[in-house]
Amino acid sequence: MSSEHLLEPDLKDFFLSMPPLTLSREQMPAIREAREKMAMEQMPPLPPEVSIVQEMAPGRDGAPDVRMKIYRTPSDRKDRPAILHLHGGGYVLGSPESNAPQHCAWAKGMDAVVIAPAYRLAPETAFPGNVEDAYAALAWVYRNAEQLGIDTSRIAVAGESAGGGLAAALALLVRDRKEYSFCFQYLIFPMLDDRTTIRADLSPMFGEFVWDREKNRFGWTALLGQAPGGHDVSPYAAAARADDLSGLPPAFISTGAMDLFTEEDLDYARRLMAAGVPVEMHVYPGAPHGFMWVAGARVTKQFARDAREALARGIGAA
């Protein structure tokens, strides 16, 4: 049964014309190269008033250094908020450069310092490489906060899709290690639960477009280094596995109603609220995974307003 009839009218042309994509270990280098090339070719000019520099954070426990892009506007302020942004891509694709327009918008519009690490991707690096890279980037931010003009009480973690799942997992790891802290979680259709890959009761109205069950199984298998859905998966790999969600920072969670992750995202939001964590949750009708790629769509504009307002409040930049 197709969910095509549920698509918002101004999303239909884009999503119905998308070419199929099959992920495989052998093809990953070529797929990554093609996607990055396309992203760079389609990228609009970036605002010249935003400085973009590259830094390296020392890896943890002998791991490789973590490459990061830092976005900020010139300022003498010492109390600016910061956003640690983790890119999406199913844990197997993506780079911080592909999100440069969003990073610049946050830096310019919220006077925030945006840190975007290039965490190691699967299957070449399985868990916990990705979350340890993100943790190393956060440690670097804390060590360099004064130089960057960052108020460490106003650091948010953010991400979309796998980046949202990684952001949620990092928030758990930060809570449990008790070395640092986040003030806010910004989770956009986060990829939270490997057990979605083995669910037999999931409606076909979820996940027909872009990120489907086959891609989801590939992504989780690559990250975990084993078949997903087992009994021994760490919550720092799949945040939905955490038994205790108390003590986490306030969260903004959003998803499209046609997204494969809709049910796991709704359940995570419910569990956060039950644990006493403030949550703002949005589900956008007629929207599949990645719906905001259609910038002019009504639902994208609504999401952009909701998300920006929530993030600005979360970091005290409203």
Catalytic residue among 95, 98, 161, 254: 161
Rounded average pLDDT over 264-281: 98
What are the distances in angstroms from CA 208 to CA 2, 45, 91, 114, 212?
7, 33, 19, 33, 6
Rounded average pLDDT over 65-70: 98
161 included as an active-site residue:
yes
Residue 76, pLDDT score: 85
pLDDT tens figures, 182-240: 999 999 999 999 999 999 999 999 999 999 999 999 999 999 999 999 999 999 999 99
β-sheet bridge partners, residue 184? 156
Rounded average pLDDT over 95-104: 96
Catalytic residue among 85, 87, 103, 289: 289
Of 68, 70, 66, 67, the C-alpha closest to 51 is 70
51 included as an active-site residue:
no
Domain covering 4-314 assigned CATH 3.90.1300.10 in the classification? no
β-sheet bridge partners, residue 83? 114, 156
Residue 295, pLDDT score: 95
As a whole number, the mean pLDDT across the chain is 97
Residue 318 has pLDDT above 70, yes or no: no
Report the 10 Å Cβ neighbour count for 127.
22
Of 302, 316, 263, the C-alpha closest to 79 is 316
- Cis link prior to 285 (omega < 30° from 0)? no
Catalytic residue among 133, 193, 259, 265: 259
pLDDT tens figures, 113-154: 999 999 999 999 999 999 999 999 999 999 999 999 999 999
Q: Fill in the amino acid letter for 248.
A: L
Residue 289, pLDDT score: 98
What are the distances in angstroms from CA 232 to CA 8, 20, 169, 226, 313?
39, 33, 16, 11, 37
Rounded average pLDDT over 18-34: 94
103 included as an active-site residue:
no
Token pair 């930060």 in the structure block, residue: 174
Q: What is the DSSP letter of 170?
A: H
Give percent of the chain above pLDDT 70: 100
Q: How far apart are CA 210 and CA 255, in angstroms?
A: 14
Domain extent listing, the chain: 4-314
Give percent of the chain above pLDDT 90: 96
